[in-house]
Amino acid sequence: MQVTAQDKSPAQTKAGSSHKIPCTECPLRGLKIFRDFTESELQFVESFKSGELTLEAGATLLREGDDSPRLYTLLSGWMFRYKTLPDGRRQILNLVLPGDFVGLQASVFHEAQHTIEALSEVVLCVFPREKLSSLFSTQPGLAFDVTWLAAREERMLDDNLLSIGRRTAIERMANLIMHLFRRARELRLVRDMAFTTPINQQHLADMLGLSLVHTNKTLRKLYDRGIISWRDKILTVKDEARLAAVAKFDGGNSPPRPII
């Protein structure tokens, strides 16, 4: 399982560890949502990164029970993190979008308690776990960023928990769509109030803790009310205000975040 940098390993799920995009040319860093890095920070991140990993849609990055010696930042594409019960019931914990940092839990505890799967073709930056301690000892600013990202993840889980525990089906759905829409907009994926997403109704159901059938009915309700449309993988928000109202949306603000 030890894939060392620059190794063009076979990889079951595939991947050209190809070339390394230099962090100075990272396509994400231009976005407003990410904070500026100092020269020295960029340099460190550059040395921290051991390579890139490409996965095809449906591939699994990390499985429940795995001990992952690597951390990742998603560069492009969509992924999701989930847990299952012994009988197969699945709960999607959160989506992973570009700029998100994953694998911290698995690295820190030497055992993942969740699975991470690609929804679309994805490209990830790969960081070896061993270098994490040198990050903490030589780059306190970046170390703080790692903590910051963990706290952000926690906050998103909090939101999710409130939704699933206390919102009705239609409120949940509206809230999730608001959340998605906001994040997609931050990443400049939205044009004319619409964006393309690989999410299907089964994913929706498993994110929201609903059955597939009920998910479909709920989505239809939002469509019938003229609030959204979701056809051919294109999600359009037709009435953002009403969507937010149905969602009882509490977006909060999102300050510029670090990207490791």
Partner DNA sequence: CGACTTGTTGATGTACATCAAGGTACGTGG
Partner DNA sequence: CCACGTACCTTGATGTACATCAACAAGTCG
55: which 2 tokens?
């996965």
Kindly determine how many residues on this chain lie close enough to bind a copy of itself according to the rule CB under 8 A: 49
Using CA atoms, how far apart are residues 35 and 194, in angstroms rounded to an integer? Answer: 26
Minimum separation from the CB atom of position 26 to DNA (A)? 32
> Where does this chain touch DNA (CB under 7 A) — which range of 112-120, 144-152, 185-193, 216-224?
216-224
Which partner in a copy of itself, DNA, none is near 7 (CB below 5 to 8 A by kind)? Answer: none
Question: What type of residue is 126?
Answer: V
Restricting to residues 21-60, name those near a copy of itself by CB under 8 A. Answer: none
Place of tokens 């990742």: 72
Residue 248 sits in the site that holds a copy of itself (CB under 8 A): yes
Instruction: List C-alpha distances in Å: 16 to 9, 10, 54, 117, 202.
Output: 8, 8, 6, 18, 30
Contacts with a copy of itself in 103-142 (CB under 8 A)?
A: 104-105, 108-109, 111, 113-114, 133, 136-137, 140-141
Which residue of 6, 58, 158, 214 would you call a contact of a copy of itself, by CB under 8 A? Answer: 158
Does the footprint of a copy of itself cover residue 90 (CB under 8 A)? yes
Per-residue binding letters, 175-204, with DNA (x by CB under 7 A): -------------------------xxx--
Q: Does 148 contact a copy of itself by CB under 8 A?
A: yes
Among a copy of itself, DNA, none, partner that 19 touches (CB below 5 to 8 angstroms by kind)? none
DSSP-derived letter for residue 35 is P
231 is a contact residue toward DNA (CB under 7 A) = yes
113 to 55, 62, 105, 231: CA distances (angstroms): 21, 10, 8, 34
169 forms part of the interface with DNA (CB under 7 A): yes
CB < 8 Å & 24+ apart, contacts of 142-147: 142/41, 142/44, 142/45, 142/258, 142/260, 145/258, 145/260, 146/101, 146/104, 146/260
For residue 55, the 8-state DSSP code is: E
> For residue 113, what are the contacts with CB-CB under 8 A and spacing of at least 6?
64, 65, 83, 105
Q: According to CB under 7 A, which one of 168, 188, 251, 256 is a site residue for DNA?
A: 168
Pairing relationship of beta strands 194-196 and 101-102 according to DSSP bridges: unpaired
Rg, the chain, Cα only? 19
Does 146 sit near a copy of itself (CB under 8 A)?
yes
Among 23, 219, 228, 247, binds DNA (CB under 7 A): 219
Binds 216: which of DNA, a copy of itself, none (CB < 5-8 Å by kind): DNA
Dihedral sign for Cα 160, 162, 166, 170, please. negative
Binding site for a copy of itself (CB under 8 A): 83-87, 89-91, 93, 104-105, 108-109, 111, 113-114, 133, 136-137, 140-141, 143-144, 146-148, 150-155, 157-162, 164-167, 206, 208-209, 248, 250, 252, 255
